[in-house]
Amino acid sequence: MSIRIPQSDLDYLGTNGYVSVMPKADYDQAQAEVANLTQINTNFQNEVVAERNAEIALHKEEKKTHSILFHFERREKKEAELQKVQEERLTVLKDQTEITQIDSRIKELILKKSTIDRMVPYDGEYVSLTGFGVATLNDLNVRNYRVADNEFSDFIEETKQTVNELQSIARSAGSYEAFLR
């Protein structure tokens, strides 16, 4: 930031949700967590494939237990097959739970990355505008143009250009997230 503002003003903006302030230590920790995002996503994809293969194997084993020939097997063999199916079912359920947890973690890391990517260093901390702060700043800009010597149509044109740029960034972020999956 090129403008120095008093700490009390920064605290006010942070308290009221206009800006997000993060201490340098927290920022560094968040960057370290996000640095592993690609590796975590690769591991996630591998686990999804392994879980799907386990599901396919479970389905095949379940089909065997529903076969007419299964009913002609010895009791011990039937019990062993049913036990095996139950164990595989538990394994698949455990894998699905792990995948859900990893997916949640990846989403959390993507949000964290989005947050730290918008932050700029300021006075030993990192600061960014929140969504509410951006909307409020936009409202203030509209009011400033109404009382300024500049034409309002110039402001509208700049706003449209900015919105287009933001939409382009959002599309890029969406494709980035899809690529990570």
What pLDDT does 48 receive? Answer: 92
What pLDDT does 152 receive? Answer: 52
Higher pLDDT, residue 67 or 24 = 24
Rg from Cα positions in the chain: 27
Our count of domains for the chain comes to: 1
Per-residue pLDDT tens digits for 143-171: 666 666 666 567 667 778 888 999 999 88
pLDDT reading at 173 higher than 60: yes
What pLDDT does 179 receive? Answer: 77
- How far is the C-alpha of 103 from the C-alpha of 181, rounded, in Å? 9
In a domain, 126, yes or no: no
In a domain, 111, yes or no: yes
Average model confidence (pLDDT) for the chain? 84
Per-residue pLDDT tens digits for 104-137: 999 999 999 988 998 999 888 999 998 888 887 8
- How far is the C-alpha of 17 from the C-alpha of 129, rounded, in Å? 9
In a domain, 149, yes or no: no
Q: Which residues contact 125 (CB under 8 A, 6 or more apart)?
A: 21, 22, 23, 24, 27
pLDDT reading at 67 higher than 80: no
In a domain, 13, yes or no: no
In a domain, 145, yes or no: no
What pLDDT does 10 receive? Answer: 86
What pLDDT does 1 receive? Answer: 45
Calculated CA dihedral for residues 27, 28, 34, 36, nearest 10 degrees = -170
Supply the range of the domain harboring residue 113.
24-119
In a domain, 100, yes or no: yes
**Backbone region of residue 123 per phi and psi (left: phi > 0; alpha: psi in -120 to 50; beta: other values):** left
DSSP state of 72: G
Over residues 56-74, the mean pLDDT reads: 80
In a domain, 163, yes or no: no
Q: Residue type at 129?
A: L
What pLDDT does 2 receive? Answer: 64
- How far is the C-alpha of 27 from the C-alpha of 4, rounded, in Å? 21
Global confidence as pTM: 0.59
In a domain, 160, yes or no: no
Query: For strand 125-129 and strand 19-23, is the pairing parallel, antiparallel, or unpaired?
Result: antiparallel
